[in-house]
A and B are shown apart, each in its own frame.
Chain A
Amino acid sequence: MIHALDEAAERLGLYIGQPLANARAMCPDLKVFDADVAADAKTLSDVADWCDRFTPLVALDPPHGLFLDITGCAHLFGGEAALLTTLVRALARQGFAVGAAIAGTSICARTLTRQASSSIVADGGEAAAIERFPVSALGAGEAITTGLRRAGLKTIGDVASRAPSEITARFGARFSTLLAHALGQGDAPISPRKPLPDYIVEKRFAEPIATDTMIAMTLSRLADMLIASMEKQGKGARRLEAAFFRTDGVVRAIMVETGRPVTKSAVIDRLFRERLDALADPLDPGFGFDMVRLSASRTEIVVQEQRDLDAHVHDNDELAALIDRIAARIGGKRVVVHLPEDTHIPECAVMAAPAQHHLAAAMQAEWPARVESEPPLRPLRLFDKPEPIKVPFAAVPDGPPHQFTWRRALHAVVRVEGPERIAMEWWRQDGKQLTRDYFRIEDAEGLRFWIFRDGLYEGEVFDGDGKPASPGWYVHGLFA
């Protein structure tokens, strides 16, 4: 099957969906390449990245199309015509065959690209511009196109001349909506790939920049501009993205997040410096970047606190800034604070949450009070997964072991405290979990363990034949 073909092949009369054997029969020296849908999608997405330089609103129209909403952007590039020429020329230089058009509605523009590339249609001229084109240009699908042809409606103008109710009755409401959009009657909104950032600043270079110092300088100048525009509206940035547009079309975006809104350009500057330093695959300027864009994709209203009188607020700010810096370098999920959970199950009693977002909550959290004048009841170090231990025998079935083997070392039990029975929460787990009897144990060396027997004797654990079996033992934690 032919998945896609170029213009020369089209002129030979080959068509998409034609069996390859037929095509070979028509043209014996046909060059054939395997279709790679994933790679095509990747390329389209890369091209869309590149198109971000013209407008932040870029939408994919798979398999081969892109919609760019250039409302209010064209004048930056010298008008619509100039924008179109720049875009087409740049893409053609990369080796792409491009059809591009500008129109009042996205569907109309798409129809134009298939028949009259590089045309610009003013508002209201849509119907006149596309009425001569064959119905296939609408891109309505094989069944509808064939149906329209069979009905004798060869051009879009023919279809448009019929009453909309007839079209809807025959070809469905979706097609009639598509047709209406193509004719400029109403428009379907495009769905951009990325949400529109709240603030954008960018810098273009006639001469591409490549050195680290230039990049750093550009970033700090952009940060100043961004802060200046946010300050006017009392906003601070929570998430920032720097996009580096390389001359050869590759775009690299780098994001940093902060725990509280940033209002100082020095902070932005430092966060990006940390992030750039720590990148696993460093920023590769290639032949240089011809554009750098800094955008604040999440912003918040900044509440001005009175700092001078309250040193505590100041300290928290500094801690938050430190957490942001560390998170920028090693990732936000790697800096955590701890929140208590309302459960008896030891491994679930504490939740680790990203410090950037939960610092305030963690500082206010209510932890269960410890029992006064008791030795520690919970171990200082807890294993993620309890580690199985070998217990040769227990003196009494329900009692603690006299010795056990953990990590290939034998530990003789000298002291025992327990058991503390912890029943699993039957209302939460879907699978049945066993009751645990925990013992605090000290061995001959003075090391202290928290071990448990998984399941009750003669009650919960059974072997293959349904007879009671002896439950397993585990080390769950270590006491100081």
Chain B
Amino acid sequence: MSGARMSALAILRGQIERIQTAEIVHQHDRVALGHGQADGALKGGLARAAIHEVFCEGRQGVAATGFVMGLAGRVAARKPLLWVRQDFSEVETGALSMSGLRELGLDPRRVVTVRAADVESALRTSADALACDALGAVVLELWGETRQFDLVASRKLTLAAQSSGVTGLMLRMAAQPLPSTAETRWMLRAAHSPPGPASMPAAPWSVWGAPRFDATLLRNRHGPCGRWIMEWNCDECQFSEPSTYSQPVAAAPADRQDSAVFQQRRAG
């Protein structure tokens, strides 16, 4: 490569650098997720006033939904949440259930759902909503690959989020990551509950635990990536390091024979 070309590249890189650092000025506001390592990688937590993308395979849709709901619960605090979804995704993975949301420890009263017929109107609605600073977070749920959600659309959403301070969460089910202006990009899978006690390792009656996610941070604009098992704590409404028990010790009811209480094994 010639010297002139190299210098041109260097100038462009410098410009990109400047644009990116200009963004940082707006993005000092971060919310800790509760998971130590993840918060470390994210420099203290998930940035508000930015776009975050969560991808998953088609069958893992509900795990990604739970993760996004957790993120939304963290960043929105007590402000309302606008959930924009496409008609089609409801057929594929079921409708978002408010009873289930309540069980995760989140507040269904602050959720407004927009049932968009197609991707265009979903995108337009989210861009409009991201500009409204009365909201805490906007979730855009899209199923499958979409041509419409390109770099331009992503840039539009980012700008709207930056100017208003609202956080945008893109839930992309059954889609492959493409270049975008997102602050972070995640790939989600459901994680196993920790194994039961040694006495009955394969017992099908072993009890359940809190929702667990196998989260991979694929891209992080201002820090390293990583992969963690994250558990959602429904009582404290935050993520945590995976507990080794499938249920909290205090809650193990008397009628259950072997609540995997003393099994000190780190799952992952």
Contact = CB atoms under 8 A, between A and B. Distances in A.
Contact of A380 (B65, B112, B134, B204): B65
A325 to B, nearest CB: 6
A47 interface: no
Interface string A335-351: 11110100000100110
A370 B100 contact: no
A348 to B, nearest CB: 11
Interface in A446-480: 446-448, 477-480
A319 interface: yes
Q: Give the secondary structure class of A's interface.
A: mixed
B62 A380 contact: yes
A400 to B, nearest CB: 8
Interface in A235-285: 278
Nearest to A336: B113
Nearest to A326: B125
B132 A322 contact: yes
A370 B204 contact: no
B117 A330 contact: yes
A315 B134 contact: yes
Interface in B110-129: 110-117, 121, 124-125, 128-129
A149 interface: no
Given A381-B61, A417-B208, A480 B125 contact: no
Nearest to A400: B204
Interface residues of A, number: 64
Given A322-B134, A372-B235, A479-B211, A335 B114 contact: yes
Interface in B79-117: 79-80, 82, 90, 93-105, 107-117
Contacts of B42: none
Interface of B is mostly: mixed
A16 to B, nearest CB: 49
A374 B248 CA distance: 8
B99 A373 contact: no
Nearest to B118: A330
Contacts of A323: 112
A73 interface: no
A186 interface: no
Given A374-B251, A478-B93, A335 B135 contact: no
Nearest to A381: B94
A479 B190 CA distance: 10
B103 A377 contact: yes
A7 B128 CA distance: 60
A321 B112 CA distance: 13
Interface in A278-304: 278
B133 A318 contact: yes
A321 B204 CA distance: 51
A363 B97 contact: no
A75 interface: no
Contacts of A365: 108-109
B248 A480 contact: no
B69 A380 contact: yes
Nearest to B125: A326
Nearest to B196: A415
Contacts of A447: 59-60, 62-63, 190
A382 B95 contact: yes
A6 to B, nearest CB: 48
A372 to B, nearest CB: 6
A322 B94 contact: no
Contact of B101 (A322, A380, A402, A445): A380
A355 interface: yes
Contact of B65 (A316, A352, A359, A480): A480
Interface string A373-387: 111111111111000
B96 A381 contact: yes
29 contacts: A315-B134, A318-B133, A319-B135, A334-B114, A334-B116, A335-B115, A338-B98, A346-B97, A346-B99, A352-B113, A363-B110, A365-B108, A367-B107, A367-B109, A370-B234, A372-B251, A379-B94, A380-B66, A380-B69, A380-B97, A380-B103, A381-B62, A381-B100, A415-B206, A442-B193, A446-B191, A446-B193, A447-B60, A447-B62
Given A350-B108, A367-B98, A478-B62, 13 more contacts: A330-B125, A362-B109, A372-B235, A373-B248, A375-B211, A378-B100, A379-B94, A380-B97, A381-B96, A381-B97, A415-B208, A417-B208, A478-B93
